Structure 1
Amino acid sequence: MSQSTALSAPASKGTGKATKMRYVVALMLFLTVVINYMDRSNLSVAAPLIADEFGLDTAQQGLLLSAFGWTYAAMQLPGGWLVDRVQPRLLYPICLVLWSIATIFMGLAGSFVALIVLRMAVGGFEAPAYPINNKVVTAWFPERERASAIGFYTSGQFIGLALLTPVLLWLQHALTWHWVFVVTGGVGVVWGLVWYFVYRNPVDSKRVNAAEVDYIREGGGLVDLGSAKTKEVKPKLSKADFALVLGRRKLWGIYIGQFCLTSTLWFFLTWFPTYLVTYRQMDYIKTGFLASLPFVAALVGVLISGVLSDLMLTRGASLGTSRKLPIIVGLLLSMSMIGAIFTDSTAMVIMFMSIAFFGNGLASITWSLVSAMAPSHLIGLTGGMFNFIGNLSSIATPIVIGLLVSATDFGPAFIYMTVVAAAGILAYVFLVGKVQRVES
């Protein structure tokens, strides 16, 4: 018996009108993503002051900003393995608390080496987060609602950055950069405990009735995925499993496309505040406001993306068109950041950055393709591979930009980002092809 049918019905939940617990789960994912990205971006907020305090050049700054990515990428496959075996109710709060404690200790670090080690710890413990998100949404949402759910929780990364970047800059200005890490880490510890006591799988939750579970199941949701009641013993990962997730052209299309998409995201998470402060000579408070505008644009893009994608699907467009078109258009728009090379106007720079990041938001429903294409028994491993290859950009982007730019010229960074976005478009057009689930 397959996992998706291991339980024929939930334990006595009553009948009648379907509950809406899946929307509460989407909100929980949203808040988790806000915290996740607050802990990814806090270093970019503090980076100029850290560089001054420790006397770091641009290459060293790039190394520090990339430290998260080394362990985040390296732990994707072990993280995916864990996601396939440990219930989200347990695995997520463990990861949340551990990466949040590491974040708090970053505020207490007294050396460049300590900052790098702790940042690597944050990256390693965050690694399972998005594969867990994908597993949760695959269990809780039918296919026709999944892109909207993914778009909603993904918007958390942009809402958090747009609203909290000015707050963190104010906190840093009022106190010191150390408190940026202490406060953001403390929030994560509290939320980890909340997740443990509130979250349950669809068939385990007392807050969902049989009608909602049936609605999700009949719409393609894998309601038993990650259930405490599923007794099926997971087989060990085999060479055949890795051959499957690494041997299909379609999957490589989404892997490469994700690398290109997240490259733009990591530019904004790492170098963008430094670009405004160092290359545009803006003060911290002004930078906090202006730096938030592209994130607001990205928020609008990601909210439009999920709703538009599901609307196209319900109106008769194919699954491939519904999922891939917003991604390709978004990557095309993200290339507009190259316009910053040709203007000295701060307003025009922010406009180009906002268009580019709107495009990044529009394209950020890529996890819907993992849900639709991953082998059903390897959701976690495929998600881990997808996130591993995609987030190699978290290593490459900070380091490459640190090596390309000079003390006075940031232009090569924008050229690099434009070329990468173009490569992403080619991957989705020529490698992904028809969107359908890959099976052995």
Structure 2
Amino acid sequence: MFEKVLIANRGEIALRIHRACREMGIRTVAVHSTADADAMHVRLADESVCIGPASARDSYLNKAAILSAATITNADAIHPGYGFLSENADFAQMVEEHGFTFIGPSADHIRMMGDKITAKQAAEAAGLPCVPGSAGALSSEEEALRVAGEIGYPVLIKATAGGGGKGMKVANSAEELRESWRLARQEAKAAFGNPDVYMEKYLQKPRHIEIQILADGFGNVVHLGERDCSLQRKHQKVLEEAPSPALNAEARARIGQIACDAIRKLGYRNAGTLEFLYENGEFYFIEMNTRLQVEHPVTEAISGIDLVREQIRVAAGAPLGYTQADIRFSGHAIECRINAENPETFAPSPGRVGGYHAPGGLGVRVDSGLYSGYRVPPHYDSMIAKLIVHGTSRNECLMRLRRALGEYVIEGVQTTIPLHQRLIVENDFVNGEYDIHWLEKFMGLKK
């Protein structure tokens, strides 16, 4: 097992990784920008290294600085968390080439799944069902019009690189497609340095369902059930739950088996998530995340398995130690992402935290690096906490979540807690009847 792990991230996920390491008897190294010198994970880590100024480009995305920090602290391995360099194949390769272990999949698998076209091709070869669309990147507007005519409108134009909704446009007709083609390529070029786009059939009311998998280096693969991530704003997840209220036991077992078979064929190792759109009883693969997910705690709540601990064990060469038959799911869990934003306009709200009180009690978990007096910096993603609630049933979970949100006090900055309080009492959500477009319609962002 590793003696020392460098955590190449910040915020709640850096603290989450530190806690897993501490429980395994592993020493930790926190890297941080000048803006994060007082962050909780920096305070708690065994060692810390400042790797640059506030700008992420000059700190958390600075590969050389992170590798230098690992060298001077004699770290054995590097955990990238999520975001930043977690799905950067070149970084994963550099980590291994410099004699450290990358706690994640191989650079080849990250590279394969980092491009939407190669990911879709690999998925189809591995037997995953995919959304009808173009075979690869579209070479011209004429080709786009031809493919759209074959699969039928509406269609979705998507950037081959990147994500987060950038370079993604819907077209309901040939006239709209011409404009969407141009805008999507412009956005993709600006955001990712790559203008290539491809096309998929646009599903009308799908759910966003993802399957969490774990695979070791000995051919053992298990899935830990599904998460429903359909509550989204501008393609960004807002709330997640497990299991999905849209799936029955037969559908859950079917997609879980399909996911495990595909991962085994790919020879993948470590944690990963296969994301699907689900409509009319059918699953359609959209992408794979080759890292830990923000929403991993809801899976931990219903499975009892520590995903970060398993990531570390697998990276150290250990087998999983259990089979699919050993995994039992219990109850229901929901996660609310708490952002430092205006709950109506979503304008960022950085600043100093005044009074702070996290909710507690049975089945309540808060993943956050916040404390009274902490200054939320303006330089990074606005998510400042995750509230995760677990109950024996979905109804119990919802009642507990209402209570926990009412207890949560974060003063000094605006947060999205009021938005979550509104969402979880809406009839559609209470009844589990929502899709990926529901939230934006609810908020008046989409007609």
Give the structure-2-normalised TM-score.
0.25
More helix as a share of residues: 1
Higher relative contact order (CA 8 A, sep 6+): 1
- Of Structure 1 and Structure 2, which has the larger fraction of its residues in strand? 2
